[in-house]
Amino acid sequence: MGKQYLELQVLTDDQLSAVVELDQRCLGGLWTIDGYQREIDSPNSDLIIWKRVNETENSQPILEDLKLPKIELKNPGSSGNEIIGIGCLWAILEEAHITILAIDPDYQGKGLGEALLFQLLVSAWKRKLER
């Protein structure tokens, strides 16, 4: 099967069912597919995921001007989900509102939530949000 990595990516339409599964597992079904679709479509939202990828898959950089390293998985968790983390930021006036931050229970305690939060804060900074 080869090496597996975790990579930060922007959520896309074709990943909606996987992210809703993660939401159900972590948050008890906080948002629906329609809710996530609205966020993807909104110019005021940033949805960032941790995705499990194989070394042969093509990377989708999170932002054109930002290259983040992949994290090699030594012992992949038991979850079969390809998406193991989700974070969402709303830009409202000059404020950044973190609305979702979740990591699959099989991957918690490894600093992945902190890295996802950091990436959301970078996104807020790039939008020039002040708070």
Is the pLDDT at 37 greater than 90? The verdict is yes
Percent of the chain residues topping a pLDDT of 90: 67
Is the pLDDT at 22 greater than 90? The verdict is yes
Q: Looking at residue 71, what is its pLDDT?
A: 72
| CATH number reported for the structural domain that contains residue 66 in this entry | 3.40.630.30
Domain limits for position 28:
4-126
Q: What is the mean pLDDT of residues 25-31?
A: 94
Could you tell me if residue 33 is inside a domain? Answer: yes
Residue 107 CB neighbours (<10 A): 20
With cut-offs at 50, 70 and 90, classify the pLDDT of residue 54: confident
Could you tell me if residue 44 is inside a domain? Answer: yes
Q: What is the mean pLDDT of residues 21-39?
A: 95
* C-beta separation of 95 from 130 below 8 A: yes
Burial 48-87 (b: 16+ CB within 10 A, else e): bbbbbbeeeeeeeebeeeeeeeebebeeeeebebbbbbbb
Tally of structural domains, the chain = 1
Q: What is the mean pLDDT of residues 105-128?
A: 93
Could you tell me if residue 68 is inside a domain? Answer: yes
Is the pLDDT at 64 greater than 80? The verdict is no
13: three-class secondary structure by DSSP: helix
